[in-house]
Amino acid sequence: MVSLVDSLTVKVEEALMKDHRTGDSVIEVGSYQGIVTLSGWVDSVEIAKVAEEIATCQEGVLRVINSLVVDNSGKEMEYHNRVKQDFDFK
């Protein structure tokens, strides 16, 4: 049976939630064959960089595609599964 959520995805999500710098951010994580995609909104470029570093440091991560958008305007924004598709998931 194939898991719908890759264990690498779970590992990265947990690491991001545990870190005080990224825990409150809206970050979606996807992974395929060691390639992790980060998408969503963060409050600063620094948080986007930290999220990428955290993901990169996880065992099994070969590459990180950082599609995080910086929005420090304080406005609420809807998030509708925005994922940059840099590779084919087939």
Q: Supply the pTM of this predicted model.
A: 0.75
Q: Is residue 44 part of a domain?
A: yes
Q: Is residue 38 part of a domain?
A: yes
User: Model confidence over 11-28: pLDDT tens digits?
Assistant: 999 999 999 999 889 899
Contact between 8 and 31 under an 8 Å Cβ cutoff? The reply is yes
Q: Return the CATH number at 35.
A: 3.30.1340
Contact between 58 and 12 under an 8 Å Cβ cutoff? The reply is yes
Residue 15 one-letter amino acid: A
Separation of alpha carbons 35 and 73, rounded Å: 30
Q: Tally the domains of the chain.
A: 1
Q: What are 39's strand-pairing partners?
A: 28, 67
User: Model confidence over 27-78: pLDDT tens digits?
Assistant: 999 999 999 999 999 999 999 999 999 999 999 999 999 999 998 665 444 4
Q: Is residue 30 part of a domain?
A: yes
Residue 68 one-letter amino acid: L
Q: Is residue 53 part of a domain?
A: yes
Q: Structural domain of residue 24, as residue ranges?
A: 7-70
